[in-house]
Structures are given as structure tokens and as C-alpha cells.
Amino acid sequence: MNFDYSDDQKFLKNEARKFLDGNCTSAHVRKVLDNADLSYDADLWKGVGAQGWLGAAIPEEHGGLGLGRVELCAIAEELGRACAPIPFASTVYFLAEALMLAGSDAQKAKWLPKIAAGELIGAFATSEGPGVVNAANLQSNVVGGKLTGVKIPVTDGDIADVAVVLANEGGKPGLFLVELAGAGVTRETLKTLDPTRSVAKITFSGAAAERLGDAGEGFALTEAVFDRAAVLLAFEQLGGSDRCLEMAKDYAMDRYAFGRTIASYQAIKHKLADIYVKNELARSNAYFGAWALNVGAAELPIAAAAARVASSEAFWFASKENVQTHGGMGFTWAVDCHLYYRRSRQLALVAGAPKVWKERLVQQLERRNAA
Amino acid sequence: MDFNDSPEEAAFRIEVRTWLEANAPQKVDTKKMSEPEILKLAKAWQATKAAARFTCMTWPEALGGRGATPIQNVIYNQEESKFDVPRGFFDIGLGMCVPTVMAFANDETKQRFVAPAVRGEEIWCQLFSEPSAGSDVAGLRTRAVKDGDDWVINGQKVWTSGAHYCDFGILLVRTNPDVPKHKGLTMFWIDMKAPGVEVRPIHQMSGGSNFNEVYFTDLRINDSQRLGAVGDGWKVALVTLMNERLAVGGSTGPNYAEIMALARSTVTEDGNALANDAFREKLADWYVQAEGLKLTRFRTMTALSRGQTPGPESSIGKIISANQLQDLSNSAIELEDQFGIITDTAIAPMEAAFQQSLMWAPGLRIAGGTDEILKNIIAERVLGLPGDVRVDKDVAFKDMPTGR
């Protein structure tokens, strides 16, 4: 039994933490939070690229480090803990994973080295309005290699160079690669719950689009990309949840009320114990997702769903109870609790809400039962 | 990251499996057997295991073990669980009581007791909890009064698993009420068949009787039966309780798979109940929790396999599993609608498994540490939060306020 990070992976994780402790402090996150014109921390983005993290799981032949997905999970955990305000997920968990999953040799050769080198930012564009996009309501359409439609919200859509877009072509749903600097693309930055991550509305009016993967497979490929992203996002969520528990503990130990530290009251102790229990269940489910992703196991869909459900629930709970433990101070802009409260929502929604994943999980159980 | 045995572990697993295939008794339907009949089978199986040193495996060879690593112990238990062998009778004795005897008794006592316990010839129980001392077990009232070389014991213990078939027990009593509660306790071993010991079954809210009350009326024992110094009983008890987590197994009962099957066969106005959105969300939650616990055990095994001490994550198990069992059982009977009230095993779905677990679950949330105490343990020992204010710390036991 070998169900934990290896020593090398722990070392990598520790190095990542050290780097982020210096380069992604609360002040760095707040710079993006407080400046409406700033979509991400460009210095941190460069630094992360220089560390090689963008290409951690990209094969060496395409300019990456060729490490496994578990190494990428270790990095993700630290990015989540630091609440990093960079388009890492959009570029690495979505664009790079979509390319590695469905890209032709030419597409991989063209884009993966640029991702690994930190030369481009990616985005993944599926949603078109409130609720879940599906075959019945998908409007975006490609005719003769030109894309028309509106995608909203697109995380990092305002700063991305390349987007993977879900659209119909000849009545068949597919994924398409679109260069966003080209003609026929209008972008508008949106106000969101988490201003430390950027979101756009993108209007395509005849933008050049190149299919990624097979025609007709748009929804299946989207689900497959979401499965991969869900595991990696789960580690960001886990890192955030752990940080919330630490913050709540540190505050409770040092806050006195009625003549003693509030950490000695059972109401607080049990609250923090509840956070701990949820975090550990999430960690175990996330590890299983990491294993499934790393070896390409048939269990990936159910493992990803369980990881996403557990981590989304854990981070939400930890982030809201962290505010509560801080009392009135927790409700101020100056204290960091709201950074994680906001990020917990961003991460829980970006690859589809937990309710959707619960349904996917049960469908997997039904399939397993039928088999 | 993988789930594979190391080469040594794989070899040991094969050794264990081969032995079990050759030696495990034929499957018998214990449902129709009486407890003494099952106990007889269990004792025979324990003797077989002891002869091959597949019990108490981590103990030194001199004490009947084989000096095995904890991961080898886990591997054996995993493999044994695939066979339908009688189990459960020896866990508390060999997991908690006998290790306490080994730690505190003189050589003569160890010589007398350890080997027969390992072979399953004698079974031990643990006599700590009392009607007025549950979570706060150091508040116990059973009195031992010195009389020459003897002690005379009066009082009552409760929730004693297996007392009615046990031969010996370890007994925590109050020897000095004039000092604060933790300081006036002493531990002894006793003969459960001695005059002055009376065992009565407890009638549980579930209807069954899996535990006992044990009454002591002028029970006379010799001072040589003392384990540890007079007044050191709490220290000795901590050694016993340290082993509790290892000895108390995981909970059993219906899980997400069973309720899924129930839902599939239950008709509602929308078709079968498995089509219901609210139900599907709950089902996903139960799956995530159950898988989370299973995978957390894999993390514990990983630490053992790497020769490390498992982290505190193993402490979350019972809080989750007991609460889930209660919640899932209730959802199941509500799914059955009016029919859910029926407990007749011939009529209720799945032989009334959910009705039974509904009535059993409250006990699981209490036994071996209540939800509340387990959360205190996580808060204090795992997260390092301070202990609660202790108003009884410096008060003589006899001056402490008492209610029920």
C-alpha cells in the first residue's frame, strides 16, 4: 500500500510552499483583489513559469518536465493554499489537459511547448448562460471554420491567448481551439464573487476555429476534461481548506473572551474538529482521484466526482466557519477570511457545481451496478 | 501512489491466504446458532490461529506472537475477513485487557494468564464504565477498601461486553475518595466467576442484550491481583484505553449500496425512488463519505507499510460511520413510506436491515467515545487546542457535586 505522496513529491510540495510563501503573500493576492484593472499577478505568473510548474505534467518531448499528475496535484495543493491569483487552472488543468487528451500531434506540438514555457494563457469556454449547457441549449456554432456565439462566463477569458470552445458544427457538438487575439473576438471583463480570478464574456463573430478531437464528441470530451480538471481543482480546494482550518485555529488560540481563549470552548473546538473531519475525507477522496488521473484508470470519472464533491463541500464549510470563528473581525475586508470564502465559490463553480457532480457520481454508480 | 503490496507484503499475503485456505473452518450459518455454540467454534478457531501464530501477531514470540509488523497484522485481518470465521469474542481481551496485564503484572501472573488468553481458552473483559461515569470514567464510584492483605469491593459496572462468558476482567476502582478523582483509582484483575460478582444483561433500546451490568457485593480479592501501584489506576487505564482504537472494529450495517438497491425496488409516483433528485444527492454524499473512510484507512495502512506511525486521520472513522448509519437508515425507512414502520423480518424489505440499524445506530454514536468526546479528542490531540476548564481538578472526590 502506497497511498500518499512519495518523499520526492513531498519535497516538491515543500519547495512549492517555500516559493509561494515568498511570492504569493496575502499582499500579492490583495493587489489583484483591490485593483479592478488587474486580472492576475503577472510577476507571480512569470515566477511560476520559471519554476517549471506550467509544464510539470507536459511530456518532455513537448518542452515539459514530464512528471506525473500526482506531482501536479502537489503543486495545485500549494497554489490553493496560497489563494494564488493566476490563470494556472485555465492554462494547465483545462487547456493543456484538453490538448493532451484530444489534440492531434500537430496541435500538441504547436501549443504544449508554449504552455510549458509560460508563453501563453489558456481558457475553457463551455457555459452560455445560467444553468448547465447541454445539447438542447448549446447555441455557439461553427460554419466553414468560423465560430459564432457568446460564451459567458469564461474564466481568464479576458487575458487568455487561446480558448477551447464548445460549439456545434454541422449539428454535431465539438471542441474547438480559438486564438483570441484574432479577428471576430470581443471580450469584456465581468464582476464576480472572486475578483482575484478573472472572468470574461466572449463574443465570437466569425472567429477562426480549429477542431480539437472528433466531431460529435464535444460533450464527451468536455466531461473528460472536467474529470481531469476536477481532480486537480480538488487539490487547490484542499489546500484552501487546510489553510482555513489553520487560520481559524490560530485566531481562536489567541482570542480571549470571558476570561479564556475561545479555543477552549467546545463550541469552537467541535467546529474546528468538524472542519478537520471534512478535510481528511476530502484528502482521501482527492488522493484517489490523483491516482486514477495519474494512471489513467477506468475509475477516473467516479473518482473525480467523489474528489470534487468532497473537496467542494470541505472548502465551503471550512471557509464559512473560518469567517464565523473570527467573529466580527472575519467580516472585515482587512482580514483574509473572505479571500478563501470567495475562492471556495470560484473553485466550486468553475468546473460545474457540486450538485451536477453528485448526479454524475450516481450515474457512475448505476453504470457500475449494471455492469 | 498505488495500492500495491511491497514484494515482502505480497509474499506474506500469499502465505496467509494459503494457510487460511487450508485451515479456516467450513462456512456455517451462525444465524441459527446459540451464543454458546458460536463461542465454542470461535474458541476452536482461536486455538488453531494461536498454534500457527496468526493471533497477537505483533507481540514478541515469547508471549505467543510472531513479532510481526503492524502492516502484516493488517494483511492478516484483511485476508481473514474474506473467510466466514467466528470472530469478535477475543478483541477486547487480547486488544486491551491482556496488554494491560502484560504491562503491569508480575511474571507469575503473566505466566499464568497470557498463554491461555492467546489460545482462546480464557476470555477477558474490561470493567471501567459505570452508570455515573461514562465519558468521565475517572468519576467512577465502585469502592475497594483494604482489609489486611485483601481488598473488599462494592459497586456496579456497566456496558461490559461479554461479561457473561468472560473468565477474567480488569477492574478499575476507587481506593481513596479523599483525593481528587484521578488520583484515588487503582486497577485489579479479577475472576469473573468469584462469589460477589453478578452479571446481568442490559436490555438495550434496540431490544437486544449485547452488553452487561456487573454488580460487586463484598467481592474479596487479594492485593496480589493489583495491576500497578495503589492510586496509579488512571495511569494504568490509559494504557488500556490507548489500545481501544485498535481493538474496536469498524461499524457494520447497510451502506450506500444497500439503500441504492432498496431505492431501485421502491416505487414512487416518479417511477422508482432512485430517480428522485433529492435521493440521488444524498446517495452521492453517502458514497463520498464511505469511500473517504475506506481510503483514509488506506492512508493509515500506507503509514504502517512505510514503518511510520499512522497520523491522527484514523480518529475520524467512527464519527462519520455512526452518523451515516443513522442518517441512511432513517432515509431508508422513509423511502419505504408507511411500510417503513414494519420490523418483521419476514415482511420488511431486506429482512428489516434498515429498521434494525436505525435502532442500533444511537449506540454506535456513544460506544467507545461519544461523538462529542471524539471531537474533543480531535480538537485537543490533533489540532492542539486547549483542554476544557476542569472544575473538579483540585477537589477531593468525596466533595464533588453529584447528580445522576
Q: Which residues of B touch A253 (CB under 8 A)?
A: 385-386
Radius of gyration of chain B (CA): 23
**Does residue A258 carry a pLDDT above 60?**
yes
Pick the closest to residue B233 from B175, B276, B291 (CA basis). B175
Chain B nearest-CA distance from A148, in A, is 35
Which chain B residue is nearest to residue A358, measuring alpha carbons?
A: B284
CB contact under 8 A, B284 and A305: yes
Question: Between chain A and chain B, how many beta carbons pairs sit less than 8 Å apart?
Answer: 154
Looking at chain A, the whole-number percentage of residues with pLDDT higher than 70 is 100
Q: Which residues of A touch B300 (CB under 8 A)?
A: none
Ranges A108-112, A153-157, B240-244, B246-250: which has the least confidence: B246-250
Nearest to B379 among A273, A283, A284 (CB): A273
Q: Do residues A269 and B380 touch, judged by C-beta distance below 8 A?
A: yes
Which pLDDT value is given to residue B248?
A: 41
In a mutational test of the B interface, the residue from A251, A280, A283, A322 whose CB has the highest number of chain B CBs within 10 Å is A280
Which chain B residue is nearest to residue A285, measuring alpha carbons?
A: B292
Split at pLDDT 50, 70, 90, the class of B215 is very high
Q: Report the 3 state secondary structure along B44-62.
A: HHHHHHHHCCCCCCCCCHH
Which pLDDT value is given to residue A194?
A: 98
Q: Which residues of A touch B384 (CB under 8 A)?
A: 249
Q: Which of 20-79 (B) contact A at CB < 8 A?
A: 71
In the annotation, is B336 catalytic? no
Secondary structure class of B285 (helix, strand, coil): helix
Per-residue pLDDT tens over the stretch B124-175? 999 999 999 999 999 999 999 999 999 999 999 999 999 999 999 999 999 9
CB contact under 8 A, B1 and A2: yes
Q: Which residues of A touch B313 (CB under 8 A)?
A: 280, 283-284
Residue B140, chain A, CB below 8 Å: the answer is no
Which pLDDT value is given to residue A318?
A: 98
CB contact under 8 A, B1 and A264: no
Q: What is the mean pLDDT of residues A92-101?
A: 98
Which pLDDT value is given to residue A352?
A: 96
CB contact under 8 A, A1 and B71: yes
Q: Do residues B234 and B175 touch, judged by C-beta distance below 8 A?
A: no
Nearest to A1 among B281, B285, B305 (CB): B305
Residue B281, chain A, CB below 8 Å: the answer is yes
Nearest to A2 among B296, B302, B375 (CB): B302
Nearest to B288 among A277, A280, A309 (CB): A309
Which chain A residue is nearest to residue B385, measuring alpha carbons?
A: A263
Residue B288, chain A, CB below 8 Å: the answer is yes
Which chain B residue is nearest to residue A306, measuring alpha carbons?
A: B288
**Distance between CA A314 and CA A283 in Å, rounded?**
9
Q: What are phi and psi of A143, to 5 degrees?
A: -130, 125
Which pLDDT value is given to residue A264?
A: 96
CB contact under 8 A, B292 and A285: yes
Q: Do residues A360 and A305 touch, judged by C-beta distance below 8 A?
A: yes
Q: Which of 195-254 (B) contact A at CB < 8 A?
A: none
Q: Which residues of B touch A291 (CB under 8 A)?
A: 1-3
Q: Which residues of A touch B374 (CB under 8 A)?
A: 273
Nearest to B288 among A294, A306, A355 (CB): A306
CA distances in angstroms from B78 to A132, B13, B17, B48, B297, listed in the order given: 43, 9, 10, 18, 12
Split at pLDDT 50, 70, 90, the class of A137 is very high
Q: Kindly report the number of other CB atoms within 10 A of residue A193's CB atom.
A: 13
CB contact under 8 A, A272 and B372: no
Q: Do residues A241 and A278 touch, judged by C-beta distance below 8 A?
A: yes
Cα A40 to the center of its chain, rounded Å: 15
Nearest to B284 among A5, A272, A362 (CB): A362
CB contact under 8 A, A276 and B383: yes
Which pLDDT value is given to residue B244?
A: 61
- What does the mean pLDDT of chain B come to? 92
Axis crossing angle, helix A354-370 with helix B277-305, rounded to the nearest 10: 80
Pick the closest to residue A299 from A227, A235, A233 (CA basis). A227
Q: Which residues of A touch B259 (CB under 8 A)?
A: none
**Does residue B98 carry a pLDDT above 90?**
yes
Chain A nearest-CA distance from B95, in A, is 24
- Strand-pairing partners, residue B127, are B171
Q: How many CA atoms lie less than 13 Å away from A163 in the CB half-sphere?
A: 35
Which pLDDT value is given to residue B101?
A: 97
Split at pLDDT 50, 70, 90, the class of B245 is low
Q: Kindly report the number of other CB atoms within 10 A of residue A258's CB atom.
A: 6
Q: Do residues B201 and B177 touch, judged by C-beta distance below 8 A?
A: no
CB contact under 8 A, A358 and B285: yes
Pick the closest to residue B232 from B320, B158, B138 (CA basis). B138
CA distances in angstroms from B34 to B30, B80, B84, B90, B119, listed in the order given: 8, 23, 17, 18, 22
Which chain B residue is nearest to residue A268, measuring alpha carbons?
A: B379
Per-residue pLDDT tens over the stretch B343-375? 999 999 999 999 999 999 999 999 888 999 999
Nearest to A260 among B283, B380, B389 (CB): B389
Q: What does chain B come to in residues?
A: 404
Nearest to B280 among A260, A287, A362 (CB): A362
| Burial profile B267-284: b = 16 or more Cβ within 10 angstroms, e = fewer | eeeeeebbebeebbbbbb
Split at pLDDT 50, 70, 90, the class of B213 is very high
**Distance between CA B300 and CA A276 in Å, rounded?**
16
**Distance between CA B62 and CA A189 in Å, rounded?**
74
- What does the mean pLDDT of chain A come to? 97
CA distances in angstroms from A261 to A265, A268, A311, listed in the order given: 8, 10, 30
Which pLDDT value is given to residue A5?
A: 96
| Burial profile A166-189: b = 16 or more Cβ within 10 angstroms, e = fewer | bbbbeeebbbbbbbbeeeebeeee
Q: What is the mean pLDDT of residues B236-250?
A: 68
Q: Do residues B307 and B8 touch, judged by C-beta distance below 8 A?
A: no
CB contact under 8 A, B285 and A253: no
Chain B nearest-CA distance from A182, in A, is 43
CB contact under 8 A, A249 and B384: yes
Pick the closest to residue B183 from B401, B392, B403, B402 (CA basis). B392
Q: Do residues B250 and B321 touch, judged by C-beta distance below 8 A?
A: yes
Per-residue pLDDT tens over the stretch B381-404? 999 999 988 899 899 999 998 876
Q: What is the mean pLDDT of residues B289-311?
A: 88
CATH number of B249-366: 1.20.140.10
CB contact under 8 A, B1 and A280: no
Cell numbers placing B225: 491481583
Q: How many CA atoms lie less than 13 Å away from A144 in the CB half-sphere?
A: 2
**Does residue A21 carry a pLDDT above 80?**
yes
Split at pLDDT 50, 70, 90, the class of B301 is confident
CB contact under 8 A, A270 and B372: yes
CB contact under 8 A, A1 and B378: no
**Distance between CA B347 and CA B266 in Å, rounded?**
14
Active-site residue among B15, B198, B244, B313?
B244
Amino acid at B187: M
Split at pLDDT 50, 70, 90, the class of B325 is very high
Per-residue pLDDT tens over the stretch A289-309? 999 999 999 999 999 999 999
**Distance between CA B325 and CA B205 in Å, rounded?**
16
Q: Which residues of A touch B375 (CB under 8 A)?
A: 266, 269-270, 273-274
**Does residue B327 carry a pLDDT above 80?**
yes
Split at pLDDT 50, 70, 90, the class of B249 is very low
Residue B390, chain A, CB below 8 Å: the answer is no
Indicate the domain borders of chain B: 7-87, 124-246, 249-366
In a mutational test of the A interface, the residue from B4, B288, B373 whose CB has the highest number of chain A CBs within 10 Å is B288
CB contact under 8 A, A280 and B386: no
**Does residue B224 carry a pLDDT above 80?**
yes
Torsion of CA A342, A347, A350, A355, to 10 degrees: -100
Q: Which residues of A touch B5 (CB under 8 A)?
A: 1
Nearest to A266 among B302, B376, B382 (CB): B376
Which pLDDT value is given to residue B393?
A: 85
Cell numbers placing B62: 515469547
Q: What is the mean pLDDT of residues B228-234?
A: 97
Residue B278, chain A, CB below 8 Å: the answer is no
**Does residue A106 carry a pLDDT above 60?**
yes
CB contact under 8 A, A3 and B2: yes
Q: Per CATH, the architecture of B124-246 is what? A: Beta Barrel (2.40)
Cell numbers placing B163: 461479561
CB contact under 8 A, B2 and A272: no
Which pLDDT value is given to residue B148?
A: 97
Cell numbers placing A360: 454524475
Q: What is the mean pLDDT of residues A85-92?
A: 98
**Does residue A213 carry a pLDDT above 80?**
yes
Domains in chain A and their CATH numbers?
7-116 (1.10.540.10), 122-215 (2.40.110.10), 219-370 (1.20.140.10)
